[in-house]
Structure 1
Amino acid sequence: MAELSEVDAWLSALVENLQPTARKKMLRELAQEVRRNQQANIRLQRDPDGQAFSPRKVTARSKKGRIKRQMFSKLRRAKYLKATADTSTATVGFISQVQHTARVHHYGLRDRVRRNGPMAQYPARRLLGVNDSVETLTKDTLIRFLSR
């Protein structure tokens, strides 16, 4: 464990030695790669841990053989899922217009189905999160920029 903290301190010092423009470029690339990873997870209908989303509730209106649109197909677009970076941080998140919907589904909260409609308890479907592939992306991006 002590070796890991030494490596972390060493890497932090190397990153701090990068010029602010290079650091911003590195963090922007990292945020874009993480966004692509999160979009792929949403497209494959799985949470960051790799478990499948809980399926939609079967209703009397659903017909056998009917093909529905995938869940969150619009939320995963770059229009709504933004990757931003500055000289010290990189963030991936939803824009304010869709944050409420994303939060309700991510945490499995209770919300109205439509305006003035009935309340529903949504199952938790984690949309964003850190997993092994995100950590690998981070390490690879850091090594690529430091080796230049």
Structure 2
Amino acid sequence: MADLRDLEDFAGPLLQQLEPAGRAKLAKSLAQQLRRNQQQRIASQHNPDGTPFAPRRTHKLREKQGRVKGKARMFLKLRKSSFLKASGDARGVSVGFTGRVGRIARVHQYGLRDRIAPRGPVAQYEQRQLLGVSGTDLDALKDALLAHLSL
């Protein structure tokens, strides 16, 4: 996983030259770009380091009978922009999950134990890093930052 301090060291002096309104506009566009990258990565079912997500467990007792439609994808709705929020202001950029889905995302992000259903059994979930910054994300953010500053 890439280190955000490198980007902060690179961009800090450049951002100090901008006015707060300019920093807020830049932060909002960087947050949207970062959210787009996260959505694409979650759709491709990969962790930030490029490894694929741990596959779903197979359920032998209640396995569906008949035709199975393709490969069961995880986090189809979770990656939508109504759940994955991006915000940016003059002080910083943030991308994260909101509401009840934030709890689901946290369980998968850190590989925690959680109930499968209300009053149901508890299961240990595999770690699947939904949020994270990769090297390509850092490069894209640097390019967007330089493009904004060169205007």
Aligned residues: 143
2:134 pairs, out of 108, 115, 131, with 131
The whole-number CA distance in structure 1 between the counterparts of 2:142 and 2:45 is 26
The whole-number CA distance in structure 2 between the counterparts of 1:97 and 1:55 is 23
Residue segments in structure 1 that go unaligned for 5+ positions in a row: 1-6
Superposed structure 1 runs of 4+ greater than 6 Å apart: none
Structure 1 length as normaliser, TM-score? 0.89
Name the % identity.
42
Give the SS at the match of 2:94.
Answer: strand
The whole-number CA distance in structure 1 between the counterparts of 2:133 and 2:66 is 36
Residue of structure 1 equivalent to 2:4:
none
Q: Partner letter of residue 145 of structure 2?
A: L
- Say if 2:47 is the partner of 1:44: no
Report matched runs for 1:18-97 at 5 Å. Answer: 18-60=18-60, 61-63=63-65, 65-67=67-69, 69-97=72-100
The whole-number CA distance in structure 1 between the counterparts of 2:121 and 2:9 is 52
The whole-number CA distance in structure 2 between the counterparts of 1:78 and 1:91 is 13
Q: Partner letter of residue 55 of structure 1?
A: P
Alignment CA distance shift 1:122-1:11 (3 Å):
closer
Alignment CA distance shift 1:21-1:74 (3 Å):
same
Q: Partner letter of residue 98 of structure 1?
A: V
The whole-number CA distance in structure 1 between the counterparts of 2:74 and 2:9 is 41
Alignment CA distance shift 1:62-1:122 (3 Å):
farther
Residue of structure 2 equivalent to 1:114:
117
The whole-number CA distance in structure 1 between the counterparts of 2:19 and 2:109 is 37
Which range moved further: 60-69 or 132-141? 60-69
Q: Which has the higher contact order (CA 8 A, sep 6+)?
A: 2
Deviation, 1:9, is: 5.8
